[in-house]
Structure 1
Amino acid sequence: MSDPCAVAHGDAPAETAERTLVAVFASPVADHLLTIGAGLGYRTALYDPAEHAELPALDDNTDVVVTDHHRDELGPVLADVLAGPVRWVGVMGNPRHPGPHVEALKQLGVAAEDIDRVHRPVGLNIGSRTPPEIAIATLAGLIADRSGRPGGFEF
């Protein structure tokens, strides 16, 4: 393990596992997720079914963040993501409103235990209002979750 002070001062690299961040659907939040995520050591990829034929490779070190819950492709994309061994998957949205992904996945016959794997909301409750703030809250939550810390996905 690296000395935390050395890491903070840039004298030692932070320890990172091979990890991938996939932002689903092109959006301003996705742009910030990918830019900031790359700086955090993620391999990053954008998947938008309107522009790409298939999902990038997913594994148990992949975190997937769906950045638009109003798209018609939401259910099929999530069903494809859940069919793989992703580490974490979440859909942006207001926690005070029901997530449209639940019904979309039920209609596709996705098992309840797989639907329950989808996190919503996706970030820490910091009052974020802008795309960069939403991206920071989301990435902070992913870091907390990956580290087994209580970071705050509870609202």
Structure 2
Amino acid sequence: MTFSGDSNQITSGGTNTLNAALTATNATFSGAENVDTTNINAGYTVSGTTTINGGKVNFASSTPAILGQTLVINDGHVTFAAAVTEVDQYIQTGGTLSGPGELRVSSTTLSGGSMLGPGKFIIDGSVGGQLVNQGTLGANGNNLVLNGPVTGSGAHVRPLSRRRRTDKR
């Protein structure tokens, strides 16, 4: 399947499987999250922006997807199976990023959504917005890797059960 032009809308109704290479300038996926699924089992090459507005999108090929310059997840569920997938800019306002694959980004803006699964999310540049961990980081092989200078502000608070007796209460 080959798309051309400035924008390509891929609306999933039920389950769709792409077994042939997809090439496009921009691609936007949408659908109902628990109903509509797009499985990408072949090469995927986008030069501009890949946007997920809903539905479930499985990048199931072991070949890394070329997502374009920007990956945007506004809603829905995105799974990566490939060892390493790279994108310059990653924006997540909602939805879920998951899978056993690795997503490597140069810059990111996180304002909503979640990241699940055994995969890695690697930031090789800057973070805009809050980077919040509401679970355990570093256990069972889960990793947060920040390559480059890291700056931040705010406070780190240990749970009461982990405070030492010399800590102020």
TM-score, normalized by the shorter chain, greater than 0.5: no
Q: TM-score, normalised by structure 2?
A: 0.29
Q: TM-score, normalised by structure 1?
A: 0.31
- Identify the structure with the greater helix proportion: 1
- Identify the structure with the greater strand proportion: 2
Larger Rg, first or second structure (1 or 2): 2
Structure of higher RCO (CA pairs closer than 8 Å, 6+ residues apart): 1
